[in-house]
Amino acid sequence: MSIWPTPMMSADKTLNELPVDERSLQRWQESLAALERDADAALGLPAAMATLHENTLHEKTRVDTWEPPVELGPLPQIFVERARALASLQQRAAARLAAARADVEHELAELTRPRRQVQPVYVDVTG
């Protein structure tokens, strides 16, 4: 009997050995597709902003907060490459959003730039 714990299986081996049911595959497919749509929308920011602006003229647009999917289980091996590509896409989208935010902050700073104090000038019209 050894005092050392038994070595754990690697993550890749564990993923490959887990049975994947069709419902789990479908949930992963839907979750990845939703995240890809969101990242694509963020990368197409000017068009998305124009649409958002147009919508707000007619009705209030509610922005949904993201909530992690439930009961996905471990990522099936068949989606590993897709998940890596999605992570790269999300990084590009995050950089694009950060740049857009910096642009807006710069524009707002230009709008709220303090003006020079102007001293009032009085003209004596009476005499």
Range of the domain at 36: 22-60+72-111
Which residues touch 82 (CB under 8 Å, ≥6 apart)? 32
What are the pLDDT digits (tens) for 98-125? 998 999 999 988 887 777 777 878 887 8
Query: What distance in Å separates the CA atoms of residue 52 and residue 104, rounded to the nearest whole number?
Result: 16
Domain count, the chain: 1
Query: What distance in Å separates the CA atoms of residue 94 and residue 63, rounded to the nearest whole number?
Result: 17
Q: Does 91 fall in a domain? A: yes
Q: Does 6 fall in a domain? A: no
Which residues touch 104 (CB under 8 Å, ≥6 apart)? none
Given a contact cutoff of 8 angstroms between Cβ atoms, the answer to whether 37 and 86 are in contact is no
Which residues touch 120 (CB under 8 Å, ≥6 apart)? none
Q: What is the pTM of this model?
A: 0.59
* Residue-level pLDDT at 57: 47
* Residue-level pLDDT at 116: 77
Q: Does 90 fall in a domain? A: yes
